[in-house]
Amino acid sequence: MASPMAAAVEVAARALVDHPTEVQVTETTHRGVTVVELSVAPGDVGKVIGRQGRTAEALRTLVAATAQHHGVKATLEIRDPDVR
């Protein structure tokens, strides 16, 4: 079962992109911090980042607020599908 942070990011990202079936959200824990990783189709990266990074910042705020509500620390990483 996905955590509340991952679920919130997945719902928001699917609403933003042109190819919602290609949205992938994974979670890892690194040094006590939950890292939520978001991957989207190559053409949708700009939509997730937004103008001047405003959408990405809003998604990161959503993750931080949800994590704080559940008593954990979390951060969001947006993965570029063109970079391996």
Query: All domains of the chain, ordered by start, with CATH?
Result: 4-79 (3.30.300.20)
- Kindly list the averaged pLDDT for each block of 10 residues, start to end, along the chain of length 84: 86 95 94 94 93 96 94 92 70
State how far the Cα of 51 lies from the Cα of 21, in Å rounded to an integer. 23
Quote the pLDDT of residue 81. Answer: 78
In the block, which residue shows the tokens 């006590």?
Answer: 32
Give the global pTM. 0.89
Contacts of 19 (CB under 8 A, 6+ apart): 40, 41, 43, 44
Quote the pLDDT of residue 2. Answer: 73
Quote the pLDDT of residue 80. Answer: 81
